[in-house]
Amino acid sequence: MTALLESISQRLDELSGRGRARSLKLPAGVDFCSNDYLGLSRHPAMAQALRSALDRRVPVGSGGSRLLRGNQAQHEALEGAAAEFFGSESALYFNSGFDANFALFSTLPSRRDAVIYDASVHASVREGARAGLARTFAARHNDAAAFDKAIVKARRAGARGVFLAVESVYSMDGDRAPLADLLEVARRRDAALFVDEAHATGVFGAGGRGLAAGLREPRLITLHPCGKALGASGALLAAPAAVTRYLVQAARPFLYSTAASPLMAIVVRHALKLIDKEPARRKRLLFLSCQARRMVTEALSRWTLLGDRTQILPIVVGGDVEASAAAAFVQSRGFDVRAIRTPTVPGGSARLRVNVNVDRTETEIAALVEILAQAEKRAG
């Protein structure tokens, strides 16, 4: 055991030396970091929905997995409401987006299939595909032609079914996927298209349904994590009924996990209602995001702002150590902005990720931009 602890300590020292050591920090300063884009996590109506459920003696915990006693009426009510909200044949509620992606890609594709994922897709998709039986291929980021070529390569290698995996809005790059082009490729090559709407649900698309909302057809599967703009937790997989039924039979992360709290299912269902009831939140967020992007572009001269037309503003600083130092400086001035480093992003592209949310003001954004300009100057 002593040798093991020494080895772990060595690894920790190496991470620190490269500026890659992670630490847990409590929220502090003005929030330009969280994914609570619409401010629903603190919405009075969400709190009231929770209080009302407790008054009705809805249990705090589910008591077991969904296949045992953990399947509660609140879970089924949410799934029914979500299927209607997202326009899908069915929906399945998971404990988190990571659980849902891991469950889907480790279960649905068989050894005779292939998974082709965007080079910038979330780690949960990659890990799920790695744990599954299908062959995997990476396609150049946001390049529909690269996906098309990868499908040809996969089929030549013997793949029968093909799953394309993308995000609609990429959390580290702040850009959008060319969903219409990808769907055209999927149709032509008879592939399934999976779209993780984590950073689009509640924000983009018709009525906040996500950027894939207008692309309804059986080959489309969408994931709607509930811990971002919906202000709660868990994730809703919207898919053909055959897909969700099969996951209930075979997806180990679903089968062997205690079900999410029925209270959370109630809160998520209420969040879906608020998306429809308060569209002004979405409009305000998009306005503030445009303002922030314009101000950052005008203020910075050396650091590179990525992304386009989203509430996520990744500012590429360079090395991990430099990004960490820049984040520490911004935090010391009262703004919560975090550094994103290797291996989450490619080496040499460590960045500050500025997330705009509806509770921010133009004055706060302007003050942050001034601090970012100072940080850039300090970095030399």
Check pLDDT > 90 for residue 208: yes
**For residue 231, what pLDDT is reported?**
98
pLDDT over 70 percentage in the chain = 100
**For residue 4, what pLDDT is reported?**
92
* Phi, then psi, of 186 in degrees rounded to 5: -60, -40
CA 211 to CA 203: how far, in whole Å? 9
**For residue 214, what pLDDT is reported?**
81
User: pLDDT (tens digit, 9 = 90+) per residue, 49-62?
Assistant: 999 999 999 999 99
Number of other CB atoms surrounding residue 18 within 10 Å: 13
Contact 220, 246 (CB under 8 A): no
Mean pLDDT of 280-298: 97
Check pLDDT > 80 for residue 380: no
228 annotated active-site? yes
Mean pLDDT of 150-165: 97
**For residue 323, what pLDDT is reported?**
95
Mean of all residue pLDDT scores within the chain? 96
Check pLDDT > 90 for residue 135: yes
55 annotated active-site? no
How sure is the predictor about 376, in pLDDT bands with cuts at 50, 70 and 90?
A: very high
35 annotated active-site? yes
The radius of gyration of the chain's CA atoms, rounded to the nearest angstrom, is 21
Check pLDDT > 90 for residue 142: yes
Check pLDDT > 90 for residue 21: no
For the chain, the domains span 44-276, 279-378
196 annotated active-site? yes
Question: What's the CATH superfamily of 279-378?
Answer: Aspartate Aminotransferase, domain 1 (3.90.1150.10)
- Structure-token pair, residue 190: 């008879």
Which of the residues 43, 75, 224, 228 is marked catalytic? Answer: 228
- Listed residue (315, 379, 380, 316) closest to 347, CA to CA: 316
Check pLDDT > 90 for residue 16: no
User: pLDDT (tens digit, 9 = 90+) per residue, 318-367?
Assistant: 999 999 999 999 999 999 999 999 999 999 999 999 999 999 999 999 99
User: pLDDT (tens digit, 9 = 90+) per residue, 213-222?
Assistant: 988 788 999 9
Which of the residues 43, 122, 224, 270 is marked catalytic? Answer: 122
Which of the residues 99, 118, 175, 196 is marked catalytic? Answer: 196
User: pLDDT (tens digit, 9 = 90+) per residue, 84-130?
Assistant: 999 999 999 999 999 999 999 999 999 999 999 999 999 999 999 99
Which of the residues 75, 199, 224, 270 is marked catalytic? Answer: 199
Instruction: Give the helix/strand (H/E) hosting 237.
Output: strand 235-239
167 annotated active-site? yes
pLDDT over 90 percentage in the chain = 94
Which of the residues 31, 79, 148, 167 is marked catalytic? Answer: 167
122 annotated active-site? yes
Q: Where are the alpha helices (DSSP H) in 231-278?
A: 241-250, 252-255, 262-277
User: pLDDT (tens digit, 9 = 90+) per residue, 271-286?
Assistant: 999 999 999 999 999 9
Residue 169 neighbours by CB under 8 Å, 6+ apart:
175, 176, 177, 197, 198, 199, 200, 203, 204, 211, 310, 312
CATH number 3.40.50.300 given to 44-276: no
Stated pTM of the model: 0.95
- Listed residue (161, 189, 193) closest to 180, CA to CA: 193
CA 208 to CA 231: how far, in whole Å? 14
**For residue 218, what pLDDT is reported?**
87
Which of the residues 96, 171, 233, 324 is marked catalytic? Answer: 171
